[in-house]
Structure 1
C-alpha cells in the first residue's frame, strides 16, 4: 500500500472520531453509522491521542518473531535456481532436498518467488497451454522402446563461416536414460552410426526404436535396425507429441545446457561431444526428474531392476 493510500485511510478514521464528538455525540451511534465495532473505535482513539494522525495509519501485520521463517541462504538458493535454470517450484524443492538436505514445500517456494516477483517466467519460457490434453504413458520395461530424434544446434560463438551441428538423442521410454552425440551431418549414414553407438552406452538391450518421419530415418536406417534384431516404428506425420519424451528432453537441453554455453566458442565436434558427455552424465546420474517423482533416470533403472512392477 502506498504512502498516499495510508494517509487517506488515516484521514477517514480521523473523520470517524470527529463524527462521534461533533455530530452524533454518541460512540455507539457513530459505530452503527460507519459499520465498525466500538472496540475498533476506541483503539483508533487511543492511538490518535498517543501519536496523532500517524497513529491512525495501517501498521504491518507481520509477526515480531518468526522462528520458522525460511533462512536467507535458502531463499538465495531458490532465487538462483529460478534465475539460472527457470525451474518451477516443484523442481526447486526437489533440488534443495536432494543436494542441500533442505525440506521445503512446493507452496513455500512459490510464496518466496511471488514475494520477489519471480512467480511468472519470462514469456519465452512459459508453458504454452493447449486445448487438447494427452494422457501420459510409460513403458514398464527398460529397453522396451527408445525414442530417437535430432536437434539442430545453432553455431556457438563462431565467426566467419559457421559450422552446423546436429545433436542425436535417444531416450529410454521407461527410465528416461539418455544417450547424446553431436555430428556435423544429418543423414541416414549418420543416423545408422548413432544407433550403432547407442547400445554401448545402455546397460540393457534395446527391443524397439521409435522415430519421426525425417529423411535421416529412411529405409536404409529402417532395414539396418531390423538386421540388428531391433524393431523400428515411425510416429504419425505431424504429431511430434507422440515422441513427447525426446521432444521434452530437447527443451530441457535448451533451458539448462545450451543457454549456459552462450558466449563460449565451440568449433570442434570433439569438444562439442565432450561437453555433451558431461551433460549426459549429469542428466542420467544427478539431475532429479519431475516425471520420476524426483528420482534420477539411473535411480529409476535400479528401482526397476529390483522391482520390475514398480
Structure 2
C-alpha cells in the first residue's frame, strides 16, 4: 500500500511495538564506527597546508600521501574548499561580522588622493602631458627639484557598520581638530536620519589617539574603539569603501581640474547611499536606515 519493501515495513512495525510513537522519529543513518575515517592529526595537517601555503587538494594529497578526494572532503567539511574563503594576507579564514542595527558602530578613516592639475592628471592624459599640466597650473608650490606639487586631498570617511551608509568630507589635513570636526558633523548627520551613534571604530592614527578625539567621544557619549595594530582587515568595511570611492568617483572619469572632481563628490555620495545596490546587503544602504524593506527591528 505504501510502496515500501517488506523488511522496511517489518522494521517500523517492530519499532512501534517496542517504543510506541517515539520509535517513529527519524534516526541518523551514520554508522556507529568508521575505522577508515581520516585521523584528526591528518585533518589538522591538511588544514595547516591550506591556510599557510594555500595549496590545492592535489598538492596537499601529494605531500601527505593521501587521495585528492579525501583531502577535498576534509576541506569541504572545514569550509576551506574555496580559496576565496581565506584571507589572502594572513591565510586565516575570513571572519565577517555585522552589528545588529544602524548606529551600533561606525567606522572612520582617512584616505588620500593626489589633486588634479589644470588640464587633467596623468591617469587620463599620460605622464608627459600630466607633468606639463603640473608645470603650467598657476599657484602650485615647487619642491627642491623645481617641480610643481599638486598636493594631497584628505578624505575623511565615515561608514555605518550595519547599513553601509557613507559620510565623506574633503580637507587639507588629517589633524586631530579636523577629525573631531568631521566626527561631530557626521554624528549630527546621522541623527538627522534617525540614527544614534553608539560606538566608533578607528585605526591607530595620531588624530584618533589624541586627547581631543577621546574628549569628543566622551562629550558625544560614544564609545571609541581601535583596531589591532597592523590589522586593517578589522576596519575592512571602510577600506573596501575607499576602493569603491576610487573606482566610482576619483578615477571614474576625466576631470580637467581638482575643483571639477570635488564638485562631483556630493552627487556620487548620494547615488551610493540612495541608488547603488550594495552587494553585501542586496539594496542601497539607505534602505536599512529608513527600514522600508523591514531589514531590522
With the length of structure 1 as denominator, give the TM-score of the two structures.
Answer: 0.54
The aligned runs of 1:237-252 (5 Å cut-off) are: 237-252=229-244
Choose between structure 1 and 2: higher helix proportion: 1
In structure 2, the partner of 1:284 is 273
The aligned runs of 1:138-149 (5 Å cut-off) are: 138-149=98-109
Measured in 2, the distance between the counterparts of 1:285 and 1:249 equals: 15
Give structure 1 stretches of 5+ with no counterpart.
Answer: 1-127
The aligned runs of 1:152-171 (5 Å cut-off) are: 152-158=112-118, 159=134, 160-171=148-159
In structure 1, the partner of 2:221 is 229
- Conservation of the 8 A alpha-carbon contact between 1:169 and 1:179: yes
The aligned runs of 1:255-274 (5 Å cut-off) are: 255-266=247-258, 268=259, 273-274=262-263
1:300 to 2:291 alignment: no
Number of residues of Structure 1 aligned to a counterpart in Structure 2: 179
With the length of structure 2 as denominator, give the TM-score of the two structures.
Answer: 0.56
Measured in 2, the distance between the counterparts of 1:287 and 1:230 equals: 29
In structure 2, the partner of 1:93 is none
- Conservation of the 8 A alpha-carbon contact between 1:181 and 1:273: no
Secondary structure, aligned partner of 2:225: strand
Pick one of 185, 188, 209 that aligns with 1:197.
185
C-alpha distance 194-277 of structure 1, shift in aligned 2 (>3 A): same
The alpha carbon displacement at 1:161 in A equals: 3.5
Measured in 1, the distance between the counterparts of 2:295 and 2:274 equals: 19
The alpha carbon displacement at 1:299 in A equals: 1.3
Secondary structure, aligned partner of 1:233: strand
Measured in 1, the distance between the counterparts of 2:214 and 2:231 equals: 20
1:183 to 2:171 alignment: yes
Measured in 2, the distance between the counterparts of 1:307 and 1:245 equals: 19
- Conservation of the 8 A alpha-carbon contact between 1:146 and 1:206: yes
C-alpha distance 238-137 of structure 1, shift in aligned 2 (>3 A): same
In structure 2, the partner of 1:122 is none
- Conservation of the 8 A alpha-carbon contact between 2:187 and 2:197: yes
C-alpha distance 164-240 of structure 1, shift in aligned 2 (>3 A): same
In structure 1, the partner of 2:198 is 207
Alpha carbon RMSD of aligned pairs, Å? 2.2
Measured in 2, the distance between the counterparts of 1:242 and 1:223 equals: 24
Pick one of 209, 212, 216 that aligns with 1:218.
209
CA radius of gyration, larger in: 1
- Conservation of the 8 A alpha-carbon contact between 1:156 and 1:262: no
The alpha carbon displacement at 1:234 in A equals: 0.7
Measured in 2, the distance between the counterparts of 1:135 and 1:206 equals: 24
Measured in 2, the distance between the counterparts of 1:276 and 1:216 equals: 24
C-alpha distance 261-193 of structure 1, shift in aligned 2 (>3 A): farther
The alpha carbon displacement at 1:306 in A equals: 4.0
Measured in 1, the distance between the counterparts of 2:153 and 2:214 equals: 23
Give structure 2 stretches of 5+ with no counterpart.
Answer: 1-86, 119-133, 135-147
